[in-house]
Structures are given as structure tokens and as C-alpha cells.
């Protein structure tokens, strides 16, 4: 089955607007001639409107790095789905391990965010992944099962089939340590099985790998059967590296 492939830039808290504008001015000159790959940029909230304007004439799309699970109200510092849609944002990353570990987001909060995104017709990029202690203790599959089960609990399966799942082993994010191709192959297959057990159309859902993806390892990771693209942090801050990864997908 041919699933959509994704090349997603998670710029985290790195680029100011002028940095992002400089990047995209160079990106505009790149030929994106693979219609099967969706390229998505996820800048900071403050840059969404300006970047939406830049991407208007591009085939690349806009994503946000977070969202809140209520639609409106007294939630100081939070951003709603309606606000993201007003900024022409279509994709939203939820469940990123930095938000789980640094900001204390729980599986239940991620479930509520997923519910809100599906209710408001935004496309979720749901991140899951185990810590190094969990992997060493042989708990990887159980952790992924728990994260996916809680996130998807009681949600409409036809809406859930529109999400993208990003497998990001916590120990590989920003560390330069990539999971081996064997680990990625085995874990992506397990994730597809879990999606099937949950009652989803597992063959339709793209599963991305994230964690120190680089221009040097993209080709071997991309060749793995159940890898449908990448969520890229560090290497997405460099136009040439990001474009090289796109070309290896
Ligand atoms: P990295 O980040 O590519 O810098 O490891 C990936 C991510 O956190 O999404």
C-alpha cells in the first residue's frame, strides 16, 4: 500500500522570524518534484501568520508545535485550534517528548489534545516513544501501547485514520544517537500492529521516525518498510541538510 510520505521540520524554540524568513527564501529555490512527499514546517506560534503568507504559493504546508485542549476561555498562555486555523495552520504536533518531560504533559492531556484536533478538523502529528531506561528494561512495546491506547481511547476511528504517528525514541532526540535500522524496523511494525488492535486502518496511517535524523542516515532509515517519513529537529534548521533528507525519502 502506498502511504503519503512526510518530511516535517520541527523548528522547536530555535528560529526567530527573520531566521525563518531567511531559511524559506532559500527553500523557495529548491525543486520539490516528488508529489508523494508532503513537506511541513512547524515554527513557533509568533511566526505562524507570517510564514503562512510565505508558504501561500508553495507546496509546503504549515504546522504548529502545540495546541491546548479547550476551545476558548481562561487559559493564560495557551493557543486554541481556532487560533491555529485562523493562521492557516493545518497540522499540529502533540505528545512530543520535550513537552511530556519538560512541561509535564500526561498521556491524558495528549488524549484531550487529540480529541480537540479531530473535533476541529486539524491534522495531528502524534509523537510517541520510550526512554532509554524503558528500552533497556524491555518495556518499549508496553510504553508505546500505553501511549497509543490512552491517546486514542474512545475517539472516532475514521477521524483517527487521518493522523500521522511519529515514533521518536526519547534517547535519540537531539543526541546524535539514532536507533538502528533493526530497532526502527521492529518498532514501526509493532506500532502498526498496535494501531490495528485499536481498530484503526493501520495500513493507511503514516508512521514517521524522529530522533537525530540527518543527511547521513536518512537513506538507510527511509528504506525501512514501515517508515513513511521523518520528523526532523536539528537537521531541519539547515536548508541543505533538510533538502538532502527530502531527496532521500
Ligand atoms: P532531532 O529532533 O532531529 O534534533 O533529534 C527530533 C524531534 O524532536 O522532533
Q: Which burial class, exposed, middle or buried, applies to 32 when counting CB atoms under 10 A from its CB (0-12, 13-18, 19+)? A: middle
Q: Is 231 in the pocket of ligand 1 (CB under 6 A)?
A: yes
**Residue from 6, 7, 8, 10 to probe ligand 1 pocket by mutation (most atoms less than 8 Å from CB):** 10
- CB within 8 Å of 184: residues ≥ 6 apart: 167, 209, 221, 224, 227
Write out pLDDT tens, residues 194-209: 999 999 999 999 999 9
The reply to whether 115 belongs to the active site is no
In this predicted structure, what is the pLDDT of residue 1?
61
- pLDDT 10s digit of each residue in the chain, 249 long? 689 999 999 999 999 999 999 999 999 999 998 999 999 999 999 999 999 999 999 999 999 999 999 999 999 999 999 999 999 999 999 999 999 999 999 999 999 999 999 999 999 999 999 999 999 999 999 999 999 999 999 999 999 999 999 999 999 999 988 889 999 999 999 999 999 999 999 999 999 999 999 999 999 999 999 999 999 999 999 999 999 999 999
Write out pLDDT tens, residues 167-204: 999 999 999 888 899 999 999 999 999 999 999 999 99
Distance CA 60, CA 57 (A): 9
**Residue from 11, 66, 102, 174 to probe ligand 1 pocket by mutation (most atoms less than 8 Å from CB):** 174
Of 47, 105, 130, 168, which residue is the catalytic one? 168
Q: Is 213 in the pocket of ligand 1 (CB under 6 A)?
A: yes
Helices (H), the chain: 17-27, 48-55, 81-86, 97-101, 107-119, 132-136, 140-152, 157-160, 181-198, 218-222, 239-248
In this predicted structure, what is the pLDDT of residue 2?
81
Q: Is 232 in the pocket of ligand 1 (CB under 6 A)?
A: yes
The strand pair at 37-42 and 123-128 is best described as unpaired
| C-alpha of residue 151 to centroid of ligand 1, in Å | 21
| C-alpha of residue 211 to centroid of ligand 1, in Å | 5
Is the domain spanning 5-247 CATH 3.20.20.70? The answer is yes
Of 96, 111, 115, 188, which residue is the catalytic one? 96
Q: Is 234 in the pocket of ligand 1 (CB under 6 A)?
A: yes
Distances in Å between the Cα of 37 and the Cα atoms of 22, 42, 132, 212, 230 are 23, 16, 31, 20, 11
In this predicted structure, what is the pLDDT of residue 8?
98
Amino acid at each position: 500500500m502506498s502511504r503519503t510520505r512526510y518530511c516535517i521540520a520541527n523548528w522547536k524554540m530555535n528560529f526567530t522570524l527573520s531566521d525563518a524568513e531567511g531559511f524559506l527564501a532559500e527553500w523557495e529555490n529548491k525543486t520539490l518534484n516528488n508529489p508523494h512527499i508532503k513537506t511541513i514546517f512547524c515554527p513557533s506560534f509568533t511566526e505562524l501568520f507570517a510564514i503562512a503568507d510565505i508558504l501561500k504559493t508553495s507546496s509546503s504546508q504549515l504546522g504548529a508545535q502545540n495546541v491546548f485542549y479547550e476551545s476558548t476561555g481562561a487559559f493564560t498562555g495557551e493557543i486554541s485550534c481556532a487560533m491555529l486555523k485562523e493562521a492557516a495552520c493545518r497540522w499540529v504536533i502533540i505528545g512530543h517528548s520535550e513537552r511530556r518531560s519538560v512541561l509535564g504533559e500526561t498521556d491524558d492531556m495528549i488524549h484531550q489534545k487529540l480529541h480537540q484536533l479531530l473535533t476541529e478538523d486539524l491534522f495531528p502529528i502524534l509523537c510517541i516513544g520510550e526512554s532509554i531506561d524503558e528500552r533497556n528494561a524491555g518495556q518499549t512495546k508496553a510504553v508505546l501501547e500505553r501511549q497509543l491506547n490512552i491517546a486514542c481511547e474512545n475517539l472516532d476511528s475514521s477521524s483517527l485514520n487521518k493522523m500521522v504517528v511519529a515514533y521518536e525514541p526519547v534517547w535519540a532526540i537531539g543526541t546524535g544517537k539514532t536507533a538502528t535500522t533493526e530497532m526502527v524496523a521492529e518498532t514501526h511494525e509493532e506500532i502498526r500492529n498496535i494501531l490495528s488492535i485499536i481498530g484503526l486502518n493501520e495500513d493507511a496511517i503514516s508512521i514517521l521516525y524522529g530522533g537525530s535524523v540527518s543527511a547521513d542516515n536518512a537513506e538507510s532509515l527511509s528504506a525501512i518498510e514501515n517508515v513513511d517519513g521523518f520528523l526532523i529537529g536539528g537537521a531541519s534548521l539547515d536548508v541543505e541538510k533538510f533538502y538532502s533528507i527530502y531527496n532521500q525519502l
